[in-house]
Homo-oligomer: A and B are copies of this chain.
Amino acid sequence: MTSEVVPGIGIRGNGSLASEAAREIKRLILANGLRSGDLLPTESELCEKLGVSRSSVREAIRTLQTLDIVDVKHGRGTFVGKMSLQPLVETLAFRSVTSPGDDFRALREVVDVRVSLDLSFAERIVAHFEGTRHELLHLLVGEMVASARRGEPFAAADREFHTQLFSESGCEMVSQLVAAFWDVHTAVLPQLAIPTPCDIELTAKAHGDMLEAAEAGDVEAYRRAVNAHYAPLLRVLDASAPDRSA
């Protein structure tokens, strides 16, 4: 029985033992300077170190696993996670489908943020790709155009294209944020509307224009391509939610 009442104010921070355990595990990661992929103590060891039962440790680990701060592998152990923005995706995606009246509203904002980031980071991206030729990105563009002509979707290539654009330019966090929004938008959109083959082809080609503009060092052309890229999608969203101001 670990009543463990701390005299004075602190008690045990705020929450439950499990929440406290989660904080302690985070402190443990920080204190030992552990990085992604490093092995953490076993659950039993954590029980001893934190002075709580297995149940609490497991719930704490579950919390951190949800936040992608730790990565639990069955039968092997618990490792430091990649700390991706996956929790953001899940929350936003779920939220976007639980707003009956505002079906397109939440999704529209997600897309608006994507446009905002693509336009705002245009200088940085163009500056990075100017005068180079990025074979992987050209490959992805070719893949998307080819798929579009066959009337097939090209989700994987699309996602990688956008994330590569940012991560190559040294914006790792923004890249992951873009990926998260991409995930949300593609997870929610199919439940609301389906794009036309024509739009699919326009979108595919816009990726090529973005890449060429970046390699040519033309920021304005890059921004035009970004707007062209989102035009079909915004048209669908606006048509379904005409109450949008300006």
Q: How far is the CB of A183 from chain B (nearest CB, A)?
A: 13
How many identical subunits does the complex contain? Answer: 2
Q: Which of A107-132 contact B (CB under 8 A)?
A: 109-110, 112-113, 115-117, 119-121, 123-124, 127-128
Is A100's CB within 8 Å of the partner chain B? yes
Residues of A within 8 Å of B, CB-based: how many? 54
Are B91 and A87 in contact (CB-based, < 8 A)? Answer: yes
- Please give, as numbers and ranges, the residues of chain B lying within 8 Å of A115 by CB-CB distance: 120
Interface string of A165-185 (1 = CB under 8 A from B): 000001111100100000000
Q: Knowing A67-B90, A245-B127 are in contact, say whether A113-B55 is a contact too (CB < 8 A).
A: no
Q: How far is the CB of A23 from chain B (nearest CB, A)?
A: 11
User: Chain A binding site: helix, strand, loop or mixed by DSSP?
Assistant: helix
Is A50's CB within 8 Å of the partner chain B? no
Query: Within the assembled complex, what's the spacing in Å between the Cα atoms of A95 and B67?
Result: 11
Select one of B30, B87, B88 contacting A97, CB under 8 A. Answer: B30
Query: Within the assembled complex, what's the spacing in Å between the Cα atoms of A165 and B69?
Result: 32
Select one of B35, B62, B121 contacting A116, CB under 8 A. Answer: B121
